[in-house]
Amino acid sequence: MKLKRLTAIIALLLCFSLFPAVAGAASAPSFTMNLTKQKQSVGQMFTVTVEGSGLTDMYAFELTFNYDSTRLKLLGAKSDIKGFSIKPITGKNEIVFAHTKTGAIAGENGELTLCTLTFEALAEGEASIELTAAKLVDSKLKATMPAAAFQLTSSIGKQAERPHFIDMDNHWAKANVERAIDLGIVNGYTDGTFKPGRSITRAEFTAMLVRSLGIQASESGAAAFTDSAKIPSWARPYAHTAAVHGYVKGYEDGSFRAELPITRAEMTVILTRVLGLTIDTNQRTTFADRDQIPAWAEPAIAAGVEISLVQGRGGNRFAPNAQATRAEAVTLMLNMLDKRVVEADAS
């Protein structure tokens, strides 16, 4: 319900831009876009950031993009500005992304990053991404529609040769693992194996999550967990970043417990948070082992099952406390990415 209310707030705010006051040339904001890298390979993931400058009391915004949907697949869009974003609206070759602050507070001023778009490269060739329109609303609900025209071109080359894992032939998750490798989400082992049935730790899963979302991992700020010093150095930036974004939470004592294998229940709850699903606390599952599902996890698991994010292991069992395998983690991560962008009527 909270999600629906916030979505309605954004829609209401941006309705004011149907009759916008065009900003004067001297004070008009300007926009630029940047690619993480100019050249990609088919199957790889990359991000585009949109920077705004000359902003004055910006409380909400809506950005419209044109892009080459034959060569690019949108995996997600987000803003690091405090507030709430709607899921990006996608049509043929068009993306609309909106974000708003909440509450009676002032808007943003100056120069800042408005949003980050994450794409998957689908086919070889030159792929364009163009910012075509911007709508801004200030804290007094005055709308402006400054000029916005900026285009980037990404060069996509043939798919890079991926490693052959000797233990993945004929495995049910083979295609998923190959796609995750191409996207840079996960890696295999030096002995030529992927070990799909091996359990995945909380640290490994969190690193996979942050990479899949195209977020820059960082340890900046205060320690996120009471046992931060015990988290392996390679995993610490991922754990901290996931905690800052609210995707991963510690245990009651504030610890992260990096080396502990993640359970299927924990994994599902985390991914429903990432998707921003509206969780009905009264929602229940129908699994035969429902009595083993922790009460704190059941509503999220039910929501995940409802949208086909996750499914049982067979025999109508969910196995909530079983250790998640690498193959399961990869599959759910890709499901999450594919469900982050929901096609909708942009009218």
pLDDT tens digit sequence for 201-213? 999 999 999 999 9
pLDDT tens digit sequence for 308-319? 999 998 899 999
pLDDT range class, residue 236, cuts 50, 70, 90: very high
Q: Enumerate the domain spans of the chain.
A: 2-157, 174-340
pLDDT tens digit sequence for 144-157? 999 999 999 999 99
HSE toward the beta carbon, residue 242, CA cutoff 13 A: 28
> Yes or no: is domain 2-157 CATH 2.60.40.680?
yes
- What does the mean pLDDT of the chain come to? 89
Sign of CA dihedral 280, 344, 311, 84: negative
Q: What is the pLDDT of residue 196?
A: 96
Beta bridge partners of 128: 153
Burial of 165 (0-12, 13-18, 19+ CB in 10 A): buried
Q: What is the pLDDT of residue 15?
A: 57
Q: What is the pLDDT of residue 24?
A: 45
Q: What is the pLDDT of residue 43?
A: 93
CA 204 – CA 191 distance, rounded (Å): 19
Q: What is the pLDDT of residue 9?
A: 54
pLDDT range class, residue 27, cuts 50, 70, 90: low
pLDDT tens digit sequence for 248-273? 999 999 999 999 999 999 999 999 99
Average pLDDT over residues 69-87: 90
CA-based Rg of the chain, rounded to a whole angstrom? 21
Average pLDDT over residues 45-58: 95
Q: What is the pLDDT of residue 13?
A: 57
Average pLDDT over residues 286-299: 96
Average pLDDT over residues 282-300: 95
Residue of 187 and 13 predicted with greater confidence: 187
pLDDT range class, residue 215, cuts 50, 70, 90: confident
For residue 6, pLDDT beyond 80: no
Q: What is the pLDDT of residue 150?
A: 94
Residue of 28 and 131 predicted with greater confidence: 131
pTM, to two decimals = 0.80
pLDDT tens digit sequence for 95-126? 999 999 988 999 999 999 999 999 999 999 99
Whether the Cβ atoms of residue 222 and residue 243 lie closer than 8 Å to each other: no
For residue 307, the tally of other CB atoms under 10 A from its CB is 13
What tokens appear for 100 in the block? 């708003």
Average pLDDT over residues 281-291: 94
CA 331 – CA 316 distance, rounded (Å): 19
- Residues counted in the chain: 347
pLDDT range class, residue 25, cuts 50, 70, 90: very low
For residue 17, pLDDT beyond 90: no
For residue 175, pLDDT beyond 50: yes
